[in-house]
C-alpha cells in the first residue's frame, strides 16, 4: 500500500493520526528551513509541511519540483488558526512530514497543471495526459461518469436491458460516410463501423427485448465541428409496444431526474416545451432553437406585398419570404459593425442583409434600404417589429430556408453579444412533426430525413402517394439550449407501408433486398410496433459542464482534421499489413 488516505480526505477528526499520502507536487513554497508542498491527487490537495528538524525528509522536499510523485508519511495536525485555508477542503489541517520519498521525478511540464492556461489547444492535446491532471478536466470527466452512471441506473430501474451490439458491421450507403475496416479473410470486402446501432436495435425488438439501451460508440466520417467528433457516444434506446408519447414521457423523466441529480445548481425548466418543426423554423429559424431567450423572427411579407424595393420584391415573387429581427439597443452600430453583420448573414447563405437603425434620441431612421421603399413601408416595418428608439432592425429576403439560416445565425450572435442566454438555465424542448422526406435537388429524388424506417403520422398516411413532401413523420428531436441532444422516431412495422416508403425513396426491390434484406425478412416473423431515440451524451455533458466544445468533456478527442495529436493517429502502416488486407495504395 502506497497510501493510507487520499489527498482530499484529511479533516480535523484525523488530527493526531499517522497517515501516508502519495501524489503529485502541485505547488512548492520554499521558505528555507520550512517548506510547504501542496500534494495533489484526483481527490484533492493536502498541504504537507517539511521542517528542517527532520533533516533527511526536509531534503526530499528541497529536491522536489512541480509534478514530482511523492510518498509522504506524517502526522496530521491542526493548522494554526491564522493559517487555516478555507479554499481547500483539507484546509483546516496539514501533514507534518516525518518521512518522504520521491517515487518519480518529472521534467518541467509543457503546460502548467496548477494553473488554467490559455495555451494553444494543440499543445493540450499533444500532452493530454498532463492536461487531464487539471481540475477542470477531472471535473468534466467525473461529471461525464456521473451522467452515464445515472442513465444506466435509471434505465435499469425501468427494466431496460443494456445489450452490446457489434462494432464491425455491414456498410450501408445511407446517411453519413462510413469508416471502413478491410477484411483480411474476405479479399476486397469491408466492414463498416456503426454510425449508430439503428438496425441492430430494431432487430432486438423483433427478438423480444422490448426495452433496450446501450451506451453506444458511434462513428461518422464527416467533417468536424466544435460539437462533432468522428467518434462519439450515444445513449441508444429502443422500445416495443410504445407510441411517440411514451418515448417522450420516459425521456423527459430521465433527463429531468438526471439534471436534478448531477447539476442541482442549475435551473431546469419543466415540463419540456413542445413545438412543431414548422413552428420552430417559423419563429426561430432553426430546428434546434435556443429557447432561453425570445428574439423571435418577425414575418414582414404581408406589409411588403406591393413594395417597389427590388430585393424584397424579387424574393417574394420567387416564392420566398421577408423576415426580420429586432435587436434592442444596437441602433448605434457603426458602419463597420453593420458590415460585419452583413458578412454573418452571408455566412448563413443570404445574399445580403437589410438593416435599419433607430437613433436613441429619436429622429431620422438610418438604413441601408429606406430610400428604396414605397410610401409608409418603413413605418409599417417599424410598427410590426415594435421597434423603439435605439433599436436595430435586421431584415433578410430570400427563400425560406435561407432566411431561416441567416437570421438564426444573427439571432444566436446577438444572444451572445447581449448576454441573453442564462448559462445557468437548462431549457429542454421537443421538436416534433418533422417532414418525413426531403427533396434532394442534386439527385432529383426524395430522401428520408431521419431514416427509411421512420413511420409517417397516421393523419398524413393518405398523403404519401399524392403529396409526399408534406407528410410528417413520427420523429422527434430533443433540443437543449440550442443543441440537438437527441433524436428518434417510431418505426414502420407494417410491410406495406415500408414498401410504399421504399418506392417513394426510389429504393428498388433489389436494392432494398441487398441492403436491408435481413431487416425486411426479420419483420416478416412478427415485428412488434416499436420506436426509440438516441441521445448525444457528449453534447449533453458539454452543456451540463458549461463547456463550449465536446473536446473538453472527452478524454482523448481529435482535432478538426480528425487526428490524434498525442498518438499521431492516423498513421501509415506496414506494407505487410496492407498486403494481408489485399490493399494497394494509389
Partner RNA sequence: GGGCCCGUGGUGUAGCGGUUAACAUGCAGCCCUGUCAAGGCUGAGAUCGCGGGUUCGAACCCCGUCGGGCCCGCCA
CB of 506 to RNA, least distance (A): 14
From the list 65, 145, 149, 184, which residue makes contact with RNA (rule: CB under 7 A)?
A: 65
Neighbours of 326 (CB within 10 A): 20
Binding RNA (rule: CB under 7 A), the pick from 116, 153, 164, 223 is 223
Binding mask 505-544 for RNA (x = CB under 7 A): ----------------------------------------
Distance CA 425, CA 251 (A): 19
CA distance 565 to 511: 41
**How many beta carbons lie within 10 A of that of residue 162, not counting itself?**
14
Number of chain positions touching RNA (CB under 7 A): 73
Q: What minimum distance in Å lies between the beta carbon of 17 and RNA?
A: 17
Binding of residue 222 to RNA (CB under 7 A)? yes
**Subset of 107-136 contacting RNA (CB under 7 A):** 108, 110-112, 115, 117-123, 125
Listed in sequence order, the residues at least 6 apart from 404 whose beta carbon sits closer than 8 Å to its beta carbon are: 281, 285, 286, 297
| Closest CB 35 distance from RNA, rounded Å | 8
How far apart are CB 122 and RNA at their closest, in Å?
4
| 84 near RNA, judged by CB under 7 A | yes
Segment holding 313, helix H or strand E: helix 310-317
Distance of closest approach, residue 195 Cβ to RNA, in angstroms? 5
Q: How far is the CB of 62 from RNA (least distance, A)?
A: 8
Interacting residue with RNA among 198, 233, 244, 498 (CB under 7 A):
198
Annotated binding site for L-aspartate: 174, 220, 450, 491
Rama region for 184: left / alpha / beta (φ>0; ψ in -120 to 50; rest): alpha
| Of residues 381 and 550, the one with the C-beta less far from RNA | 550
Cβ distance 403 to 397 under 8 Å? yes
Q: To the nearest whole angstrom, how small is the minimum distance from the Cβ of residue 243 to RNA?
A: 21
Contact window for RNA (CB under 7 A) among 347-355, 417-425, 517-525, 574-582: 347-355
Q: By CB under 7 A, is residue 234 in contact with RNA?
A: no
Shortest CB 268 distance to RNA, Å = 25
> Which span sits near RNA by CB under 7 A: 77-85, 180-188, 329-337, 511-519?
77-85
Residue 350 or 387: which CB sits closer to RNA? 350
Q: In this structure, are residues 494 and 527 in contact, taking their beta carbons and an 8 Å threshold?
A: no
Cα dihedral 156/157/158/164 (nearest 10): 0
| Residue 373, CA distances (Å) to 305, 321, 573 in order | 12, 16, 65
Using N-to-C axis directions, what is the helix angle for 509-522 and 495-504, rounded to 10°? 150
For residue 337, count CB atoms less than 10 angstroms from its CB and return exposed for 0-12, middle for 13-18, buried for 19 or more: exposed
Q: Give CA–CA dist 446/435, Å, rounded.
A: 11
- Distance between CA atoms of 415 and 294, rounded to whole angstroms? 9
Residue 8 as a binder of RNA (CB under 7 A): the answer is no
Cβ proximity to RNA: between 212 and 369 the closer is 212
Per CB under 7 A, does 228 bind RNA? yes
Task: For residue 14, state whether it binds RNA (rule: CB under 7 A).
Answer: no
Q: Which is nearer to RNA, 331 or 557 (CB)?
A: 557
Q: Residue 217 interacts with RNA (CB under 7 A)?
A: no
From CA 252, how far away is CA 263, in angstroms rounded? 16
> Is the CB of 162 or the CB of 547 nearer to RNA?
547
Query: Does residue 451 touch RNA according to CB under 7 A?
Result: yes
Select 270 or 440, whichever has its Cβ closest to RNA: 440
Residue 36 Cβ, how far from RNA at the closest point, in Å? 3
Is 561 a residue that touches RNA (CB under 7 A)? yes
Question: What DSSP state is assigned to residue 573?
Answer: -
Among residues 432, 407, 416, 392, the alpha carbon closest in space to that of 299 is found at 407
Q: Is 34 in the site for RNA (CB under 7 A)?
A: yes
Helix (H, G, I), strand (E, B) or coil at 433: coil
Told to check if 416 binds RNA by CB under 7 A, we report no
32 binds RNA (CB under 7 A): yes
Q: Is 413 in the site for RNA (CB under 7 A)?
A: no
Q: What are phi and psi of 432, to 5 degrees?
A: -120, 175
Question: Taking contact as CB under 7 A, which single stretch among the options 160-168, 378-386, 447-455, 512-520 is the one that binds RNA?
Answer: 447-455
Cα separation, 540 vs 481, in Å, equals: 10
Amino acid at each position: 500500500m502506497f497510501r493510507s488516505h487520499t489527498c482530499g480526505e484529511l479533516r480535523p477528526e484525523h488530527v493526531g493520526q499517522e497517515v501516508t499520502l502519495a501524489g503529485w507536487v502541485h505547488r512548492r513554497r520554499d521558505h528555507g528551513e520550512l517548506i510547504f508542498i501542496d500534494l495533489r491527487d484526483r481527490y484533492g490537495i493536502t498541504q504537507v509541511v517539511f521542517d528542517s528538524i527532520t533533516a533527511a525528509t526536509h531534503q526530499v522536499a528541497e529536491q522536489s519540483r512541480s509534478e514530482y510523485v511523492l510518498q509522504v508519511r506524517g502526522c496530521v495536525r491542526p493548522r494554526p488558526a491564522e493559517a487555516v485555508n478555507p479554499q481547500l477542503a483539507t484546509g483546516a489541517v496539514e501533514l507534518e512530514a516525518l518521512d518522504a520519498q520521491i517515487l518519480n521525478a518529472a521534467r518541467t511540464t509543457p503546460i502548467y497543471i496548477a494553473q488554467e492556461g490559455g495555451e494553444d489547444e494543440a499543445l493540450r492535446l499533444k500532452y493530454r495526459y498532463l492536461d487531464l491532471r487539471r481540475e477542470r478536466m477531472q471535473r468534466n470527466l467525473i461529471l461525464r461518469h456521473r451522467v452515464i452512471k445515472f442513465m444506466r441506473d435509471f434505465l435499469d430501474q425501468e427494466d431496460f436491458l443494456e445489450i452490446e451490439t457489434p462494432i464491425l458491421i455491414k456498410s450501408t450507403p445511407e446517411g453519413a460516410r462510413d469508416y471502413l475496416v478491410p477484411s483480411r479473410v474476405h479479399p476486397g470486402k469491408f466492414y463498416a463501423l456503426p454510425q449508430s446501432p439503428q438496425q441492430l436495435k430494431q432487430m432486438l425488438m423483433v427478438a423480444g427485448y422490448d426495452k433496450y439501451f446501450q451506451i453506444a460508440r458511434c462513428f461518422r466520417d464527416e467533417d468536424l465541428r466544435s460539437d462533432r467528433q468522428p467518434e462519439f457516444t450515444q445513449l441508444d434506446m429502443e422500445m416495443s409496444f410504445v407510441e411517440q408519447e411514451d418515448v417522450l414521457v420516459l425521456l423527459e423523466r430521465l433527463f429531468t431526474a438526471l439534471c436534478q441529480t448531477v447539476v442541482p445548481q442549475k435551473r431546469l425548466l419543466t415540463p419540456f416545451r413542445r413545438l412543431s418543426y414548422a413552428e420552430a423554423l417559423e419563429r426561430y429559424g432553426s430546428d434546434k432553437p435556443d429557447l432561453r431567450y425570445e428574439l423571435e423572427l418577425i414575418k414582414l411579407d404581408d406589409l411588403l406585398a406591393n413594395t417597389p424595393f427590388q430585393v424584397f420584391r424579387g424574393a417574394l415573387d420567387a416564392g420566398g419570404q421577408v423576415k426580420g429581427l429586432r435587436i434592442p439597443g444596437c441602433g448605434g452600430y457603426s458602419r463597420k459593425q453593420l458590415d460585419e453583420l452583413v458578412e454573418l448573414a452571408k455566412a448563413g447563405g443570404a445574399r445580403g442583409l437589410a438593416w435599419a437603425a433607430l437613433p436613441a434620441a429619436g429622429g431620422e431612421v438610418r438604413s441601408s434600404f429606406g430610400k428604396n421603399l414605397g410610401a409608409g413601408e418603413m413605418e409599417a416595418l417599424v410598427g410590426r417589429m415594435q421597434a423603439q428608439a435605439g433599436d436595430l432592425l435586421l431584415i433578410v429576403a430570400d427563400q425560406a430556408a435561407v432566411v431561416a439560416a441567416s437570421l438564426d445565425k444573427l439571432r444566436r450572435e446577438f444572444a451572445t453579444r447581449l448576454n441573453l442566454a442564462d448559462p445557468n438555465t437548462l431549457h429542454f424542448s421537443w421538436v416534433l412533426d418533422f417532414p418525413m422526406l426531403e427533396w434532394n435537388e442534386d439527385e432529383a429524388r426524395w430522401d428520408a430525413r431521419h431514416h427509411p424506417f421512420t413511420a409517417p403520422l397516421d393523419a398524413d398516411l393518405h398523403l404519401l402517394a399524392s403529396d409526399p413532401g408534406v407528410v410528417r413523420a413520427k420523429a422527434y428531436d430533443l433540443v437543449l439550449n440550442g443543441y440537438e441532444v437527441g433524436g428518434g422516431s417510431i418505426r414502420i412495422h407494417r410491410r406495406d407501408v415500408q414498401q410504399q416508403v421504399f418506392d417513394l425513396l426510389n429504393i428498388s426491390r433489389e436494392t432494398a433486398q441487398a441492403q436491408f434484406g435481413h431487416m425486411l425478412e426479420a419483420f416478416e416473423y412478427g415485428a412488434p410496433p416499436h420506436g426509440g431515440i438516441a441521445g448525444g451524451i457528449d453534447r449533453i455533458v458539454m452543456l451540463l459542464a458549461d463547456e463550449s466544445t465536446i473536446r473538453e468533456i472527452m478524454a482523448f478527442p481529435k482535432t478538426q482534421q480528425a487526428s490524434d495529436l498525442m498518438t499521431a493517429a492516423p498513421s501509415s502502416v506496414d506494407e505487410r499489413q496492407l498486403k494481408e488486407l489485399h490493399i494497394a495504395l494509389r
